[in-house]
């Protein structure tokens, strides 16, 4: 039976590891404490932001839901309003079209009346001119046939009197 001598650590043998460990811990604290703090701070902040965003999203969703609920509740009234608006618009359009059609009809009537009046006036003028021309032709022939020397004498005397009279 093998017997191993029992090894008892001494203070000295423990001192160096303890010093090494202390230096190791000091260096760890010295070099890693800042980044670790910053990492946890940033992580905490990110978590807070995400929680706030989630909260906002939740509130928006609730507001949207409430709005949708209101809109759904308001749908019959909205439908009624749209129907009323459409009806009013259609009536306005109809009235405008009717007014426009009336104006067009009035204009056409006026144009036609004016044209007819012009035609009548032109025909009347033409007829009157023809009648006057025929009357002058007849009168000329009548005077030509009926005029005798005493008439010609009278014409000359009348001319001499008229032309010689002071104007």
Binding residues for other proteins, rule: CB under 8 A, are 124-125, 128-129, 132-133, 135-136, 139-140, 143-144, 147, 149, 151-153, 155-156, 158-160, 162-164
Question: In terms of CB distance, is 40 or 159 closer to other proteins?
Answer: 159
The span from the CA of 64 to the CA of 81, in Å, is 23
Q: Which is nearer to other proteins, 85 or 138 (CB)?
A: 138
User: Which residue has 């010689």 as its token pair?
Assistant: 164
Minimum CB distance to other proteins, residue 120 (Å):
13
57 token code pair: 């999203």
CB of 152 to other proteins, least distance (A): 4
Q: How far apart are CA 69 and CA 75, in angstroms?
A: 10
DSSP 85-115: HHHHHHHHHHHHHHHHHHHHHHHHHHHHHHH
Q: Which is nearer to other proteins, 105 or 147 (CB)?
A: 147
Q: How far is the CB of 165 from other proteins (least distance, A)?
A: 11
Structure tokens at 39: 């990492």
The rounded distance, in Å, linking the Cα atoms of 133 and 139 is: 10
Task: Output the smallest distance, CB 114 to other proteins, in A.
Answer: 18
């Amino acid at each position: 039976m093998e017997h191993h001598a029992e090894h008892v650590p001494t203070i000295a043998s423990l001192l160096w590891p303890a010093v090494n460990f202390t230096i190791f811990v000091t260096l760890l604290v010295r070099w890693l404490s800042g980044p670790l703090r910053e990492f946890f701070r940033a992580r905490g902040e990110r978590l807070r932001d995400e929680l706030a965003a989630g909260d906002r999203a939740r509130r928006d969703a609730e507001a949207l839901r409430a709005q949708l609920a209101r809109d759904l509740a308001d749908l019959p009234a909205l439908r009624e309003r749209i129907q009323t608006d459409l009806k009013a618009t259609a009536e306005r359009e109809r009235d405008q079209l009717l007014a426009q059609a009336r104006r067009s009809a009035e204009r056409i009537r006026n144009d036609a009346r004016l044209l007819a009046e012009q035609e009548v006036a032109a025909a009347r003028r033409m007829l009157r001119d023809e009648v006057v021309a025929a009357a002058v032709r007849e009168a000329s022939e009548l005077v030509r046939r009926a005029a005798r020397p005493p008439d010609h004498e009278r014409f000359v005397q009348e001319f001499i009197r008229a032309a010689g009279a002071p104007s």
